[in-house]
Structure 1
Amino acid sequence: MHGHRTASSLTLALLTATFLTPPERALAAPGDALGREFQVNSFTASHQRASSIAMDADGDFIVAWHSTGQDGNSWGVFARRYNAAGRPEGGVFQVNQETASHQTYPSVAVDADGDFVVAWGSNGQDGSGYGIYARRYDAAGVAQGPEFQVNTFVTGSQSRPAVAMDAEGDFVVAWQSNGQDGDSWGVYARRYDAAGVAQGAEIPVNSHTTSQQIFPAVAMDVDGDFVVAWQSNGQDGSSYGVFAQRYDGVARVAGDFDGDGNADILWHNAATGTAVVWLMDGTEKLAVQSIGGAPVVWQVARIGEFNGDGKADILWHNAVTGAALVWQMDGFARTAAVGVGGAPTAWVIEKVEDTDGDGLSDIFWRNSATGATVVWLIRGFARVEVGGTGSVPADWQTH
């Protein structure tokens, strides 16, 4: 699982930079090379490869790569900073502090001000195969503390990290982990604030766990919303396919939790599992309270009205096991938590609606691999009927 990546296995001599004078730049057309390619690595013995690059809002950029023999013991991670004119801001510097065995396949991300983080895989450092490590730097290239471990599950190997950062310096690291989701490789992620403090535990990203889900890529917007993409073996019916999952920095859902006729807002932190309700009256926020939470493998799927009391209830879905659970709510109070069954992880909850007109919410499922759809009719937290409703191609979405 540690072979070459096609997109980033190029020797680091193949980058282009801005060396044109202002008049020359004014004459350059969009997409024209700004100057000649230049060499980034100064240590040239053996191999320097697997480059990753990130650029801040002003055009300053940072390049990271792994190099063999340079840190005294096989592969190590190195980086170099450049200003917006393509001129080096200092020399090459070593990122990894642990040098035993291999430190490989770095990923770098930068915020709007030029602060950056580098993540990589390190062999044997956590006691079992590869683990994921990262290190933060300010815009001047000064390390903001030592390297730190990202993964908490250490059995087998966790490798091939990808990192993304928002405008304020909050960041997310995604990686592949062997054996953690119960069947070969799966994709996991973990969020951090701008101070490098973890915002909750690891998040299981892929809900389809059969065979391999590998080689994640991640991107984050200025507000901290992010998306993870990966390749999955056999999920689309023919070898590998590409899948993705979107995340809000904090998930939001609206529903009437106190039965006053006004929609209230449920907030769920996907990284910590914590849930909070805002009781609303138009634009006025009447009250705010935490209602507890669930382990991060459980995510808020939808809200609905499952027991006929006129107050919103919360439907949770376990991304690892496929189980579904309803919290019966009375305002801020959780009066019951009832399992309503489950489905294989290829099935996702698309909608919660009253499909039979009895005043109670039912659950509409869709198979992400085949497009098959099923409705569960729910009565008082009991599943009373299951009906197949046909298949719909993947490019059709419910609304």
Structure 2
Amino acid sequence: MKFITIIVFIFMNLHFGFGQNLILGNEFKVNTYSDTTQREPAIASDGYGNYVIVWSSINQDGSESGIYGQRLNANDEKVGSEFRINTTTLKTQYRPSVDMNSSGRFIVVWASMVNINSSFDIFVQVFDESGNKVGSEILVNTTTANSQNYPDVAIDASGNFCVVWQSWFQDGSDKGIYAQRFSSSGNKNGAEFLVNTTTAYSQGRPSIDMSPDGRFVIVWESWKQDNFLPSGYGMYGQRYSSDGSKLGSEFQINTFTNDYQWFGDAAMDQYGNFIVVWCSWRQDGHDGGIFGQRYFQDGNKNGNEFQINTTTAYYQWLPKVAAAKDSSFAVIWSSWKQDGSREGVYARLFDKFGRYKSFEFRMNEYTENYQWEPGIAFGNENELIAVWSSWDQSSGKDYDIYARRIKPDIPQGKIIETAVNHVEGLSTSKIKVHLIDSTLTTGELYRVTFNKLNKDSIYSSVKNVTKNENRVLNFGIDKGANHFYLTQAFEGVAVEFNPDFNLELNLVESFAQINSASNLIYSFTNPTVGKKETAPMDLVLSFGRTDTSSDGKYIYPLDTALSRTGARVIIVPFKVFNLKDGQKLNSLVLENSGMLNNKWDAGESIVVLTPPPYATGSTSTHCQINNSPPAGLQPTLPNQGDSVFVLTHRPLTNEDVFEFTTQRNNFIVGVKDVHSNPEKFELFQNYPNPFNPVTNIKFQISYTSHVTLKVFDILGREVAKIVNEIKEAGTYNYQFSIMPSGRQVLNSQLPSGIYFYQLSVDNRISIKKMVLMK
């Protein structure tokens, strides 16, 4: 059984009414004392909106650094004054962590340099529901030789808790992970214990979380364990029962193992299911990215590792995760230059199934300089409370601690892609229209236009054409590629932009469509000869028959290409066309030096020349198509019906215009994953492909249902409706012709190009691509 997607079209009784990142309170400064530096914040909540924030403060306690806290209620009102947590004030206390249970009892841990001979040790202080200290601060680690650092803590519903930290040279290698359990009265429960099984090299920076019944999981980063060469950190974990016994063995968390996976954090829900998040270096094509892995309570992976951040430019790091009472979870992280300055704080909400529940959104309002070191907790339903350190925001003296409560957008759906029309322009950029509040939609026509100031600065406006009123003015698409661009909500929707900024070959999505027995493998590069001048076009290289006579010449040649010398003498069994207008394009064959026979042979690269008006001279070249058989095999030539497509990225310009309507039948309003046999509902690839003038489209359905089969052009405009009726279970074949025939209703006679055909059966949709070549 496999998963298919069922689209549910429901519009009755929708009263969600969420606005764009509904703010329940603007950001506010947490610390009262601000004469020096306050950093390293951590946050924990009781799940009902009440919470505590702790941080380190320089010189406030009369020594180098101390640990301070502030309790707040569900209205973000301070409960009492900020308070000092550490009793011992000699030298440095830093890197605090905190956890709180549902009764409001909380535990704070930190690293303390009070013993110069042993460097840092771990201390803990217990607080009751009213914020009163329970007993004195406690030295957690029994082994005090060398340094113990990076503590974390987790508490259960009864007040029992566990502290974890990294310890130098204790496990016989470099760093190792150790833990100590405590009873609710603050007494040690057993001895400190080694967590990691693998002790080679370093295991450090641990994180712990605990279920209400006392089960817990500890995760950490381990050097060279998941991939010896190239060396780097990987994420590992160990589960424990409520009595402190190990559940299973230590386990590797990250699937992607190249480079570094580190800065991990864990959150466990009330059932013992848990999620781990971390920063993965260069996995998303840039520097740091935020990834996660969900687990069932038995320790088995729940799905695959997944990317959390949408914006991938530069780096994202320092992730933290929190789980809610309903098993949904939220992730927060720091992102470089995303908010227009240096570091900024971003977050995303997920439902209990691990599906995106919100967009990626910014937490910090003030964006100058650094806002980083974030933490996150849940308030009431879908409310997120974030904390971070902010540079020079109010005191002018260094870092302060800021917090904010947000109820993020919970999008209800989106407009189906084929209902968003690219009516003018050549850009390959895309837009998506998200449904934010169905009760506010108008059903009216909107137009999206662009004002391009320079290559990287584009501004967009959205106009309600029906009312002739602007809804979005000069929205900045100005941070470059790989950023998440989403407008504010208007009339129930918000527009997301996926812009292309540069004219360049799309080497990733260019492809070969092989219908014969040919074994040639194709690759695409910028041209290695001539003057590279990329044209704003997609092209198809279409093969004819490749039969040869006894002297090796093609019996059915289709064109004559240029040689390396520029002479038009190379006989080829293919033609090249611009998919937009059907214009024939010239090509050049790079004959192998040992086979100069004035014909194209397998293994010889094909260079497509840049057409006018984009070429500045006769040596202008657009792209290069390379081909070769599998290693050790003789080549099998392509044949009639085989095609190679070379695509481009084309930037937004002032000429590009998109249109959409917010009619209710254009919205996808819910997605469910259900088990179904894919052989019972299937749309097959059309044949022949490419085609002219007729192709066959085959599909299969499993029960009597209403069926529509439509064809759309590359701009999303409907050009044909082939089927629109009740059909019984079975397999069907329909012909699609470029001229009107039968029940097909064509908007116009169609030009060459890429088209999409869409099968809709009740609430299920499948889409495939085909190519018309005249």
CA distance, structure 2, for counterparts of residue 192 and residue 70 of structure 1 = 32
Q: C-alpha displacement at 1:355, in angstroms?
A: 6.6
Q: C-alpha displacement at 1:70, in angstroms?
A: 3.8
Give identity over the alignment, percent: 37
**For residues 102 and 60 of structure 1, do their structure 2 counterparts lie closer, same or farther at Cα, with a shift above 3 Å needed?**
same
Aligned counterpart in structure 2 of residue 134 of structure 1, from 179, 187, 206? 179
Aligned counterpart in structure 1 of residue 286 of structure 2, from 218, 234, 238? 238
User: Do structure 1's residue 112 and structure 2's residue 112 form an aligned pair?
Assistant: no
Alignment of 1:30-69 (within 5 A): 30-69=75-114
Conserved 8 A contact 1:188-1:203: yes
| SS at structure 1 position matched to 2:196 | coil
User: Do structure 1's residue 92 and structure 2's residue 137 form an aligned pair?
Assistant: yes
What's the counterpart of residue 302 of structure 1?
none
CA distance, structure 1, for counterparts of residue 113 and residue 124 of structure 2 = 14
What's the counterpart of residue 213 of structure 1?
261
Matched letter for residue 61 of structure 1? F
Alignment of 1:250-329 (within 5 A): 250=298, 251=300
User: Do structure 1's residue 14 and structure 2's residue 68 form an aligned pair?
Assistant: yes
CA distance, structure 1, for counterparts of residue 206 and residue 240 of structure 2 = 14
What's the counterpart of residue 203 of structure 2?
158
Q: C-alpha displacement at 1:356, in angstroms?
A: 7.6
**For residues 72 and 143 of structure 1, do their structure 2 counterparts lie closer, same or farther at Cα, with a shift above 3 Å needed?**
farther
User: Do structure 1's residue 226 and structure 2's residue 274 form an aligned pair?
Assistant: yes
Matched letter for residue 113 of structure 1? S
**For residues 154 and 232 of structure 1, do their structure 2 counterparts lie closer, same or farther at Cα, with a shift above 3 Å needed?**
same
CA distance, structure 2, for counterparts of residue 133 and residue 355 of structure 1 = 49
What's the counterpart of residue 213 of structure 2?
168
Q: C-alpha displacement at 1:43, in angstroms?
A: 1.1
Q: C-alpha displacement at 1:127, in angstroms?
A: 1.1
Q: C-alpha displacement at 1:100, in angstroms?
A: 0.6
Q: C-alpha displacement at 1:353, in angstroms?
A: 9.0
- RMSD over aligned CA atoms reads 2.6
Residue-by-residue CA offset, 1:109-133 (whole Å, 9 max, x unaligned): 0001100000000000001110000
- Alignment TM-score, normalising by the size of structure 2: 0.31
**For residues 29 and 212 of structure 1, do their structure 2 counterparts lie closer, same or farther at Cα, with a shift above 3 Å needed?**
closer
CA distance, structure 1, for counterparts of residue 250 and residue 161 of structure 2 = 21
Q: C-alpha displacement at 1:17, in angstroms?
A: 3.4
Q: C-alpha displacement at 1:139, in angstroms?
A: 0.5
**For residues 17 and 353 of structure 1, do their structure 2 counterparts lie closer, same or farther at Cα, with a shift above 3 Å needed?**
closer
Alignment of 1:309-388 (within 5 A): none
CA distance, structure 2, for counterparts of residue 352 and residue 154 of structure 1 = 43
Aligned counterpart in structure 2 of residue 177 of structure 1, from 213, 222, 226? 222
User: Do structure 1's residue 189 and structure 2's residue 237 form an aligned pair?
Assistant: yes
Bigger Rg over Cα: 2
CA distance, structure 1, for counterparts of residue 238 and residue 675 of structure 2 = 29
CA distance, structure 2, for counterparts of residue 164 and residue 70 of structure 1 = 29
Conserved 8 A contact 1:71-1:99: no
What's the counterpart of residue 198 of structure 1?
246
Aligned counterpart in structure 2 of residue 121 of structure 1, from 160, 163, 166? 166
**For residues 165 and 43 of structure 1, do their structure 2 counterparts lie closer, same or farther at Cα, with a shift above 3 Å needed?**
same
Conserved 8 A contact 1:17-1:38: no
Conserved 8 A contact 1:57-1:113: no
Conserved 8 A contact 2:293-2:301: no
Higher RCO (CA-CA < 8 Å; seq separation 6+): 2
| SS at structure 2 position matched to 1:202 | strand
The count of residues paired between Structure 1 and Structure 2 equals 249
CA distance, structure 1, for counterparts of residue 233 and residue 301 of structure 2 = 30
Matched letter for residue 161 of structure 1? P
Unaligned runs of 5+ in 2: 1-38, 43-54, 58-65, 303-672, 681-765, 767-774
CA distance, structure 2, for counterparts of residue 7 and residue 128 of structure 1 = 31
Q: C-alpha displacement at 1:243, in angstroms?
A: 0.3
Residue-by-residue CA offset, 1:315-337 (whole Å, 9 max, x unaligned): xxxxxxxxxxxxxxxxxxxxxxx
CA distance, structure 2, for counterparts of residue 41 and residue 29 of structure 1 = 26
CA distance, structure 1, for counterparts of residue 234 and residue 254 of structure 2 = 7
User: Do structure 1's residue 76 and structure 2's residue 121 form an aligned pair?
Assistant: yes
Runs of 4+ aligned residues of structure 1 deviating over 6 Å after TM superposition are 350-357
Q: C-alpha displacement at 1:42, in angstroms?
A: 1.2
Q: C-alpha displacement at 1:10, in angstroms?
A: 2.3
Residue-by-residue CA offset, 1:174-199 (whole Å, 9 max, x unaligned): 00000000141000010000000000
CA distance, structure 2, for counterparts of residue 235 and residue 209 of structure 1 = 9
What's the counterpart of residue 22 of structure 1?
none
Matched letter for residue 230 of structure 1? W
Matched letter for residue 31 of structure 1? D
- Alignment TM-score, normalising by the size of structure 1: 0.59
| SS at structure 2 position matched to 1:143 | coil
Residue-by-residue CA offset, 1:256-311 (whole Å, 9 max, x unaligned): xxxxxxxxxxxxxxxxxxxxxxxxxxxxxxxxxxxxxxxxxxxxxxxxxxxxxxxx
Q: C-alpha displacement at 1:90, in angstroms?
A: 0.7
CA distance, structure 1, for counterparts of residue 214 and residue 193 of structure 2 = 17
CA distance, structure 2, for counterparts of residue 219 and residue 202 of structure 1 = 17
CA distance, structure 2, for counterparts of residue 252 and residue 6 of structure 1 = 31
